[in-house]
Amino acid sequence: MQQPSALVIGETTFSFHDFEEMRPHIESAIGDAAEVTATTDKDALADLAGYDLVVDYLTDATLTPEQLDGLLSFVRDGGAYLGLHCAADLINVHDGDGGLDKRDEPFPDLRDLLGGHFLTHPERSTFGVEIVSDHAVTDGVGGFEVFDEPYQVDVDDDVTVLARMAHPDLTDYPVAWVREYGSGRVCYASLGHTAEAFENEDYRRLLRNAVGWLVRD
């Protein structure tokens, strides 16, 4: 079977989600599940011909109409989308001076694609992740503990939640979910602020399983 081709996209706009720092950890976690091309150029989203999968690690989800249409039509027509951690932040945008501005509402088209979005988070901490669905993405993945940023998220009723957090101070927010988008498939996983998260063997298995499920024939 030919190895699927993945475009992994991030940015260096913010020090807290710096793609140059996190890219090696993302690529290592994906491993040989896909052949990776990494970029910080959002224009790559305008033409995704030749790729099977987009892996999104963008914090500022501001896209031009061409970039947005390229991404949405790619997934709608049968492509695959894997959102990691900050990909669900559809509210915070760059203020032009190294900081953040906050939108009143999440980007609607991307919110529809993802099936959920980031609300807020407390400080990084160690917390549990419990597998709650029997699915190809969770095959062989047991419950685990991880040191990361615990994302509080809002999700639609029609997504299939695969994993939830077990945090002493928070409710059991979803950590991973899947959904269909047109003819394509979408998976989101909220872990990924820290290198430790991407080095966790259970999380690595979940991400590699996700790639396999997303790019199925």
Locate 22 and state its tokens. 């996190």
Distance from C-alpha of 99 to C-alpha of 195, rounded to nearest angstrom: 23
Helix (H, G, I), strand (E, B) or coil at 175: strand
Residue 29 · residue 198 · CB < 8 Å: yes
| Residues in contact with 134: Cβ distance below 8 Å, sequence separation at least 6, in sequence order | none
β-strands 144-148, 125-131 pairing: antiparallel
- What three-state secondary structure class fits 188? strand
Q: Which residue has the tokens 């699927």?
A: 4
Maximum separation of any 2 CA atoms in the chain, in Å = 47
Residue extents of the structural domains in the chain: 5-215
Q: Which residue has the higher pLDDT, 93 or 17?
A: 93
Kindly tell me if the per-residue pLDDT of 93 is higher than 90: no
Q: Chain-wide mean pLDDT for the chain?
A: 94
The fold of 5-215 is Rossmann fold (3.40.50)
Q: Is the per-residue pLDDT at 217 higher than 70? A: no
Percentage of the chain with pLDDT > 90? 85
